[in-house]
Structure 1
Amino acid sequence: MPHLTARVLESQLQGNESALIAALTEAVVDVYGEWARDVAVIHLDGVPAGRWGLRGKPVDEAPPAITFGIREAAFTRPDSGELVAKLVQTVTDAVADVLGAHLRDTITVELVATPAGRTAIGGVIVDS
């Protein structure tokens, strides 16, 4: 189940929530296929101005930061290089398309690998 968390300044996010959820879901579907639409989970964290810090100081402007939880097995596939590149590109494009192309070069995407057996749903470990 793909999980994406987008941390965005509240001022950038406000009014763009539905469009960003839709765009990030489409990015997941573009990479994994239509089956992923029903299991993609998108979290939007709006950060108030002054609560984002860079270089040791709070800032009123910051680039969006995306964390994409992905199964560790994705990095061991024969096509893992292509998969990772496509994930990063489609997610970056989705965010830039919704929040503005001027942000493209500053958007960060972090792929976080989850080993098999380290995800649980309803208190039960999911091995697949």
Structure 2
Amino acid sequence: MPHLSVHVLESDLAGRETTLIRRLTDAVVTVYGEWARGLVDVKLIGLPPHRWGIGGAPAQAPAPSVTFGIKEAAFSRPDSDEIIARLIAVVTDAIVDVFGERVRDGVTVELVAGVAGRTGIGGVVVAS
């Protein structure tokens, strides 16, 4: 299941939540296919400006940051380089569609592997 956690300033997020969830879900579906739509899990984390720091000081206008959790196996597929590049591109485009072109150069998308046997759902270890 693709998990996306988005950190963004609360003031930038307010009123855009539904659109952002929809655009991020659509972006993932363009790479994985329609079968994945019901599995995309998006968490929006709005931060007040004084709780986001860069370089030892509160950030002035940070671009959204996305942590994208996917199964570790995605990184060992023969087409992994292409899939990773496409996911980063479509997620960045979705963020830009919602927040505007001004954020593009600062959007961070970090793909994080969910390792089999190190994740649990409902109190049970997930083996694959």
| Equivalent-residue separation in structure 2 for 1:62 and 1:21 (angstroms) | 19
Q: Aligned equivalents of 2:62 and 2:44: distance in 1? A: 15
Match of 1:80 in 2: 80
Aligned residues: 128
TM normalised by structure 1 equals 0.96
Gaps of 5+ in 2: none
Aligned to 2:68: 68
Give the structure 2 partner of residue 2 of structure 1. Answer: 2
Once the two structures are superposed, the pairs formed by residues 46-125 of structure 1 within 5 Å of their partners are: 46-125=46-125
User: SS in structure 2 opposite 1:15?
Assistant: coil
4+ residue stretches of structure 1 with deviation over 3 A?
A: none
Counterpart for residue 19 of structure 2:
19
Q: Distance in 2 between matches of 1:60 and 1:51?
A: 11
Output the CA distance in 2 between the equivalents of 1:116 and 1:64.
28
Taking only the aligned residue pairs, the percentage that are identical comes to 58
Which deviations, in whole Å up to 9, do the C-alpha atoms of 1:36-62 show, x marking residues without a partner? 111110000001011100110112421
Q: CA RMSD in A?
A: 0.9
Identify the residue that residue 38 of structure 2 maps to in structure 1. 38
SS in 1 for 2:69: strand
Report the TM-score when normalising by structure 2: 0.96
Deviation, 1:106, is 0.8
Q: Which runs of 5+ in 1 are unaligned?
A: none
